[in-house]
Amino acid sequence: MKVARLQNWAGSGTPFIWITASAVAISLIMVVGLLSLLAFKGMGHFWPKQVMQGNYNPPIASRAIATSEFIGERVQFEAVAAEQLADNGFALSLGVDTYQRQLVKFGNRDLSESDFGWIVMEFTSDIAYPADIVVLERRRWGNLYGYMESVLQQAKEVVPNAGDQSTDETLWQDFQQRLQRTAQLLEEISLLESRQLARINRQIEQLRRQQSRNELLISEPAQDLDADVRQLSLLESQYGDFQTRLNNLAEQVNRDSVRLITANNQRIEIPLSEIIRAYRPNQLDFTEKLTLFMTKVLEFVADDPREGNTEGGIFPAIFGTVVMVLLMSMLVAPFGVIAAIYLREYARQGLLTRIIRIAVNNLAGVPSIVYGVFGLGFFIYIVGGEIDRQFFAEALPAPTFGTPGLLWASLTLALLTMPVVIVATEEGLARVPRSLREGSLALGATKFETIVKVVFPIASPAMMTGLMLAIARAAGTVAPLMLVGVVKLAPSLPVNGLYPYLHLNQKFMHLGYHIYGVGLQSPNTQAAMPLVFATALLLVAVIALLNFSAAVLRNRLREGL
């Protein structure tokens, strides 16, 4: 009886329901766990931590080491076996099997060999969290930890620290005001360089190319050539005026500096132009920490990278990824849909059509790096080189389109994702009942009208599904982009306010390549690791946002049926 019930239960399909539900639950748990890990490891980097000060005196058997002072942030703890420490030269007491050590961010990279280091907690003493410790986030050399000694203006002390609380607060307020003034001047310099000087540089470059083109063609009248020379002279004069203004601003920016005392009574003077932010972490309450955390996250999303991409923001990578995916979608969607419609609706269903479908399915499994090699050889060297010879001969031998850039990267990824769109669109077209086509034709509609007004609207959700799959694959693909346009650091965005606004020949940054470069090629692994997690989380968010937009459009198309 029990065997019969078990057979009936197995035959009902209930075990497969439980297996499917378990697989879905495990998948969801893995996805949630991955996102949680990325969020914890990545976002935790931006939370302002307390800074400790103490003394460290490890018992090294081979040599005597004097007690050294350290200042830094705790990063992580771990237990370490006594045997491992003994192998590293520590003279340990008997009876202790494990020790606690912690990774500390000491900062002050310009004063020491490394801004991270391990210390064993059992060999520390006098651990404290002084309220007047200052953290400086700098444009170079990372964070600096220390005590503010004085503010200087043109190398002369303005407000020295007398050691009492009122003077310390006065010094801090004066420092913050000068830092704000310096930030405003730097912003003015940045706007002047990115707008005015960039516009003049581009106009000068266009005029010089026009002169080179005229010299090649020998077709311009003499008066037109003289007008070009006068225009070029005027632009160079304007450039000189802006450069003089920039020099004056630079003198004002470099006026102020601050002197700090770091660990082991080392003194260092930092120009305020090198400081991004200054705060006293041990005095911050929860609200102030939350505000600072949100500010850092916003800067990570909106600023440019610095320090070899190990600090700063990743906005150029976000922007480049989105622009490339949108351009790729504009290229792959129409060609993929047209190819699928031809194969399903117009092509004679025979041996040749089956071979083409098999080839398309096989192309979906070709390694992505192969597409990168094809894009480099065909698009860049052949197509781009011919475009340069026909339309940009005056710029040769410097290539314009015969070099990796945004256009070639988008075309390469369009080829990479084309099979996905074709297969998904064909499946959608195959699900349209044949009776609908025959009814439309019976009512007098042409085949083209039937496809456009009957078949296409019904199959459009499947087309959007194919596009969503293409977006997901393209946004996360890195290997071919390394050959056809992506770079570690791009000096400017591929889209800006300068004509022609979208610069298809320009190299760009990509989130996937940014993760690869920061995670595997960074000289400072400990500093780069949190940014790897944060960038990976942001890449997942960008892909999810793009797919969500396509899903909304797909649902709108379904509702319109």
Residues 514-548: tens digit of each pLDDT: 888 887 777 777 778 888 899 999 988 888 888 88
**Quick one: pLDDT at residue 24?**
92
pLDDT over 60 at 64, yes or no: no
- Predicted structure pTM score: 0.85
Residue 483 has pLDDT above 80, yes or no: yes
Q: Which residue has the higher pLDDT, 59 or 534?
A: 534
Which amino acid is it at 207? Answer: L
Which helix (H) or strand (E) segment holds residue 101: the answer is strand 98-105
Contact 224, 109 (CB under 8 A): no
Of residues 194 and 51, the one with the higher pLDDT is 51
Average pLDDT (493-497) is: 79
Question: Which tens digits make up the pLDDT trace of 354-388?
Answer: 898 888 888 888 888 999 999 999 999 999 999 98
Q: Where are the alpha helices (DSSP H) in 141-277?
A: 165-191, 198-217, 222-253
Residue 241 has what pLDDT?
78
Answer whether residue 561 shows pLDDT above 60. no
Residue-level pLDDT at 25: 94
Q: Residue 144: name the closest of 39, 272, 1, 290 by CA.
A: 272
Please check the confidence at residue 407 and state whether its pLDDT lies above 90: yes
Provide the 3-class DSSP secondary structure of residue 256.
Answer: strand
pLDDT at 63 over 60: no
Q: What is the pLDDT of residue 258?
A: 92
Q: How many residues does the chain have?
A: 561
The rounded distance, in Å, linking the Cα atoms of 374 and 414 is 12
Average pLDDT, the chain: 84
Contacts of 147 (CB under 8 A, 6+ apart): 130, 132, 133, 134, 161, 260, 261, 262
Q: Name the band, by pLDDT with cuts 50, 70 and 90, for residue 394.
A: confident
Residue 64's alpha-carbon distances to 52, 58, 93, in angstroms, are 25, 9, 16
Return the closest-CA partner of residue 383 out of 361, 397, 395, 399: 399
Give per-residue pLDDT as tens, 68-125.
888 999 888 888 887 777 777 676 766 677 888 888 898 888 887 778 888 888 888 8
In this structure, is the dihedral angle defined by the CA atoms of residues 237, 239, 245 and 250, taken in order, positive or negative?
negative
Confidence of residue 560 (pLDDT cuts 50, 70, 90): low
The CATH classification number of 315-560 equals: 1.10.3720.10
Q: How far apart are CA 554 and CA 328, in angstroms?
A: 18
DSSP 379: I
Q: Is 57 helix (H, G, I), strand (E, B) or coil?
A: coil
Q: According to DSSP H, which parts of 47-163 are helical? A: 82-87
Which one, of 77, 75, 72, lies nearest residue 109 by Cα? 72
- Please say whether the beta carbons of 34 and 539 come within 8 A: no
Predicted pLDDT of residue 165: 63
Q: Where are the domains of the chain?
A: 51-147, 155-254, 315-560
Question: Beta strands of 245-341 (E only): which ranges?
Answer: 256-261, 267-271, 275-279, 305-306, 311-312
The pLDDT tens digits for 279-335 are: 999 999 999 999 999 999 999 998 888 877 778 889 999 999 999 999 999 999 899
